Amino acid sequence: MSSKFHKLALEYHKGNRPGKIIVSSHKSLTTCEDLSLAYTPGVAIPVREIAQDANKVYDFTIKRNLVAVISDGSAVLGLGNVGPLASKPVMEGKAVLFKHFADIDVFDIEIDTQDVDDFVQTVKNIAPTFGGINLEDISAPRCFEIEKRLIEMLDIPVFHDDQHGTAIIIAAGLLNSLEIQNKDIETIQLVCLGAGSAGIATLDLLCELGLSKDNILLVDSGGVISKDMENVSQVKAQYGTKTDKKTLTDVMQGADVFIGVAVANLVSKQMIKSMADRPIVFALSNPDPEISPKDANSVRDDLIMATGRSDYPNQVNNVLGFPFIFRGALDAKASEINLKMKIAAVYALKDLAKLEVPNSVLKAYSTKYMTFGKDYIIPKPFDPRLIEVVPKAVFDVAVSSGVSRL
């Protein structure tokens, strides 16, 4: 990053009032009567109502529209284990996105422990405050156990966005890319570089959508995950294959799809050149991808490419998912965000990309033309239809699948 941008970012976060969020009241408090309603004695009336019927907490408090964004700071962006205090700007940023895109209120909570039991117990103890829990920037494999245990314990949605948010956006973009490239998810050969939370969750979801485990080659920092490897976690081992291939170079040969959720510059031009006809490349490491679009396009003119960056076409951005998924879940008073709700979000995003792009989106991105195709496989974050389409899809499935309190 340039020194100018570095300074601008610090000034943005500091300003006259440090941070990015505030807590404010939306009820009147200008008269003596207002005060008596807001606090004693008026506040005792909803207290009694909720004491008699716990579900009325959704009618008389912020719970129905309040999400906790919670992190221990163990896997923040591409910066690693920076701890809870250093994670706070990111959690505040998440709060801003929730509010801007879906009018959801957020308390960001940074927990000073990386012990799984302590973390889970802390979240369990504060959960009654919230209508949903968004786990964020927690390292693998701890994140898998934390999310699983909290889902089992709590009666509100628990969603680890680094896992499922990423997976949902990738899946929507990939399904559209396969359609454009005239390929079938049931027969493609897919390479996934990165076996952390995003990589595993993406493979889990794609398998639910028809991808065969036999057609997956998973690569981590130690090489290709094979069935005969020892000391491999159960999470990774489920995607181990019977293969003699050892390196990323080996598995890229003839691959139809590459999904990178690792670190920058691990993929060479030669690897892209060795892929099958009409390849699909999702190089999603941020801020720098596993291979730049410039390098990939210099050796292949038949590929579709996505990155995690806004300055290239086809940005895979979690903001397309989590605000709208939670909006639908909260509106349904859902007890969880289940697989059917996640798949509903995938197809809502997939189908939205095929519709005519509104002028407001073209203006926001300073272009006169944008249509479904190689350079537009998923909607843009500022598409005003997202708030109409995705929450409704999630809401409807929450109700039909029996996890709604309505």
Residue whose pair of structure tokens reads 């969880």 in the numeric block: 336
Of 78, 109, 146, 80, the C-alpha closest to 287 is 78
Contacts of 59 (CB under 8 A, 6+ apart): 49
Asked whether 207 and 213 are in contact (CB, 8 A), the reply is yes
The total of other beta-carbon atoms located within 10 Å of residue 147's CB is: 22
Q: Which of 20, 63, 88, 94 is catalytic?
A: 94
DSSP structure string for 207-242: HHTT--GGGEEEEETTEE-BTT-SS--HHHHTT-B-
User: Residue 26: enclosing H or E segment and its boundaries?
Assistant: none
Asked whether 248 and 273 are in contact (CB, 8 A), the reply is no
Asked whether 181 and 155 are in contact (CB, 8 A), the reply is no
Chain centre to alpha carbon of residue 312? 19
Question: 39 an active-site residue?
Answer: yes
Question: 347 an active-site residue?
Answer: no
> What distance in Å separates the CA atoms of residue 272 and residue 49, rounded to the nearest whole number?
63
Radius of gyration (C-alpha) of the chain in whole angstroms? 22
Q: Which of 39, 213, 354, 365 is catalytic?
A: 39
Q: What DSSP state is assigned to residue 266?
A: -
> What distance in Å separates the CA atoms of residue 258 and residue 241, rounded to the nearest whole number?
17
Chain centre to alpha carbon of residue 291? 22
Task: Give the amino acid at 260.
Answer: G
Burial class for 201, CB neighbours closer than 10 Å (0-12, 13-18, 19+)? buried
Q: Does 128 sit behind a cis peptide bond, omega within 30 degrees of 0 on the bond before it?
A: no
150 vs 132, 136, 160, CA distance in Å?
A: 11, 14, 11
> What distance in Å separates the CA atoms of residue 18 and residue 6, rounded to the nearest whole number?
16
Q: Which residues are catalytic?
A: 39, 94
